[in-house]
Structure 1
Amino acid sequence: MRKSLALPETGGYHIVRYKQRKASERKEAWRKDRNKGIGGSDMSVVLGISRFKTPYRLWLEKTGKKEPEDISGKWAVVKGNALENKLRQRFRLIHPEWQITDGTDAVLVRDDKPFMRASLDGAIHDPETGEWGVLEIKTAGSRRYGDWHDEDGDLKVPDYYLAQVTYYLAVTGWKWGIVYADLSDGNEPVELRVERDEDDIWAVERAAAQFWHFVSADIMPEFKDQTDVLTCFPEPVDDGIVDLDSDEKTVDLMRAYADVKAAAKDAKDAEDQLKQQLIVKIGGATGIEAGGYRATYKAFERGAYMVKASSGRRFAFSKPKKTSKGDK
């Protein structure tokens, strides 16, 4: 196993190091510095591909209008923090040909665009080529397992993590990175290499610059969903109805929604009619099976708790799993 090197200053960026005595103090100093720029975990939000946060909500945080949610107590975060060093040690063990550097308590800040900041889990030095690469460590819950596989079942880096690693390559100028991830499937962590792609680099740099302009100029970005609207406008500020008949995009949106809503109603009406026909077929039985499907109309009783007591029959439709003849 090769000896670790210090985080390198390979040009194009400088390193901010947190040297407070206690780990908690270093963590707090790092947290306070997050509003000085855009970090890697922010990149999927900036690009609009995050499931957990919108650009508007991130903008509120970066402009100091709203405190970020404290997620330190969430199990996924607790688990990730607990395993990060173990996974880094494991990666170092299986790659004795490389020198692995811990990126904790340091932030890489790009010189020409200081709002671009990278907090690396680690850095990889290849002595044979002299090149450095990004090490990004992940722990994935079983519910996110599908994000790590394409339609053919082959491993892939999820888009939201690919955006993060690409952003780190943009900050450092390095050519490659490794995503090392425990997929919580009982197997060895997986290792996926990410090569620098200049088109992707341009895309994340452009998105980061645009978003940071919104922050520095205090310009609100577009809303993405209902949560953004409710956050900004808990109640209407105008009792009037805005006429947008001259806005072609809005007209198209209204018509598309009307079409989908009508189609959904037609589908619901058709479903109800078919459901009634199946209930008639069931009659006094508990259920019926045909064509690999099962329809049931079972009796139920619900005691009085928070709601009135009730009883009756409940319809259900499913495609049961095939069982062997010996199964009941």
Structure 2
Amino acid sequence: MFDVVRFRQRTRVERESAWLAERGKGVGGSDMSTILGVNKYQTPYSLWLEKTGRAVHEDISGRWPVIKGNVLEGELRRWFRRRHPAMSLTDGTGMSLISKAHPCMRASLDGVLWDEDRGFGVLECKTASAYRASDWHDVDGSLKAPDYYMAQVTHYLAVTGWSYGCFVADIGESEPVEVWFERDEDDIRAVVDAAEAFWGFVQRDEPPELTGVDVDALYPQDDGDIETTDSAEFDGLVDEYKHISDKQSKLKKRKDAVSNLLKPMIGEHSGLRSARYQVTYKTTHYKESFRPARDTRVIRTSEIKEK
């Protein structure tokens, strides 16, 4: 499924330099959230600038969250080994896996799992900062992996062909947490298609579609002039933008009004069920993270099939 490039340089600085050079030759797992548009800190265009040599990849190795993550990575692997003595776990750092079917796709794993029944799997170590710890819980408070990290490990499963993996993460709780994940062929295909499409832009030296953030970065200062255009596309987009904006405002007001009518109907109960619908108004407990621990009631609807 893949070739292996090992980094055997003598010093850590040399190994990191070699890894960065290899990273620039294709799409890595940490690039996938950007390519799929679920990374709020980078756009496909800014990543394209890096991959085509028009911009330098920002060195964040000196930032405390990165230092902390690097230090804890080994401890998280040891913690996982103690919890799963029947499984084999090998340190995956120091090498890059290159997909044979899609050579633009590369994977740098934190760990390689081996289970007698399931075969090889991916281990990904994460350390969440306080303000992102809430990303690891859904609205009910249950553990889940954030979408931007799921994009990364789905990329890894696509490169390796493996069927499962596990996050072991320090998210500020008394112990690290585990979040297991399974291969999903629809997600694999979406990731492969996205990687190939993005790398096509790099190879053709053609920029991907700009976002508003990209335009703000390219033109941080307006020139004070208002241009004139006869573009029908421009008028059509403005019509659509205005229509959506007006509709959103009206819908938000109506949604709040309907919610306020439903809540007293439910009252002290956790929900109300009819022949068609169930509406819950349960208390959700949020653990302390970057905000104090708190209880809040959230109204949610789920349709019940009619008998």
Alignment TM-score, normalising by the size of structure 1: 0.71
SS in 2 for 1:36: coil
Correspondence 1:59 to 2:45? no
Paired residues of 1:180 and 1:190 also in contact (CA < 8 A): yes
CA RMSD of aligned residues (A): 2.3
Structure 1 residues 218 and 180: alpha-carbon distance in aligned structure 2, compared to 1, 3 A threshold: same
Paired residue for 2:185? 198
Correspondence 1:211 to 2:211? no
Paired residue for 1:161? 149
The one-letter code of the counterpart of 2:143 is L
Alignment TM-score, normalising by the size of structure 2: 0.76
SS in 2 for 1:44: helix
Paired residues of 1:244 and 1:250 also in contact (CA < 8 A): no
Whole-Å Cα distance in 2 between the matches of residues 262 and 114 of structure 1? 47
Whole-Å Cα distance in 1 between the matches of residues 230 and 208 of structure 2? 23
SS in 2 for 1:204: helix
**Which among 75, 81, 88 is matched to residue 70 of structure 2?**
81
Structure 1 residues 163 and 246: alpha-carbon distance in aligned structure 2, compared to 1, 3 A threshold: closer
SS in 2 for 1:229: helix
1:220-299 aligned within 5 A = 220-225=207-212, 227-234=213-220, 240-247=227-234, 248-257=236-245, 259=246
SS in 2 for 1:88: helix
| Higher-Rg member (1/2) | 1
Structure 1 residues 192 and 261: alpha-carbon distance in aligned structure 2, compared to 1, 3 A threshold: closer
Structure 1 residues 242 and 33: alpha-carbon distance in aligned structure 2, compared to 1, 3 A threshold: farther
Structure 1 stretches of 5 or more lacking a match? 1-11, 264-320, 322-328
SS in 2 for 1:210: helix
1:242 positional shift: 3.3
Deviations 1:59-116 (A, max 9, x none): 1101110001111111111110111111111111221101111111100000121110
Paired residues of 1:245 and 1:251 also in contact (CA < 8 A): no
Specify which structure has the bigger relative contact order, considering alpha-carbon pairs within 8 angstroms and separated by 6 or more residues. 2
SS in 2 for 1:136: strand
SS in 1 for 2:197: helix
Paired residue for 1:313? none
The one-letter code of the counterpart of 1:230 is D
SS in 1 for 2:232: coil
The one-letter code of the counterpart of 2:216 is L
SS in 2 for 1:114: coil
The one-letter code of the counterpart of 1:157 is A
Whole-Å Cα distance in 2 between the matches of residues 246 and 51 of structure 1? 28
Correspondence 1:177 to 2:165? yes
Structure 1 residues 145 and 235: alpha-carbon distance in aligned structure 2, compared to 1, 3 A threshold: closer
Whole-Å Cα distance in 2 between the matches of residues 241 and 33 of structure 1? 47
Structure 1 residues 241 and 78: alpha-carbon distance in aligned structure 2, compared to 1, 3 A threshold: farther
Deviations 1:118-149 (A, max 9, x none): 000010011x2260000000001121121111
SS in 1 for 2:42: coil
**Which among 79, 82, 95 is matched to residue 93 of structure 1?**
82
Structure 2 stretches of 5 or more lacking a match? 251-293, 295-307
Paired residue for 1:109? 98
The one-letter code of the counterpart of 2:167 is V
The one-letter code of the counterpart of 1:171 is V
Whole-Å Cα distance in 1 between the matches of residues 178 and 248 of structure 2? 45
Whole-Å Cα distance in 2 between the matches of residues 262 and 172 of structure 1? 46
Number of paired residues?
A: 250
Paired residue for 1:28? 17
Paired residue for 1:145? 133
Whole-Å Cα distance in 2 between the matches of residues 134 and 213 of structure 1? 27
Whole-Å Cα distance in 1 between the matches of residues 237 and 56 of structure 2? 34
**Which among 102, 115, 121 is matched to residue 133 of structure 1?**
121
1:243 positional shift: 3.4
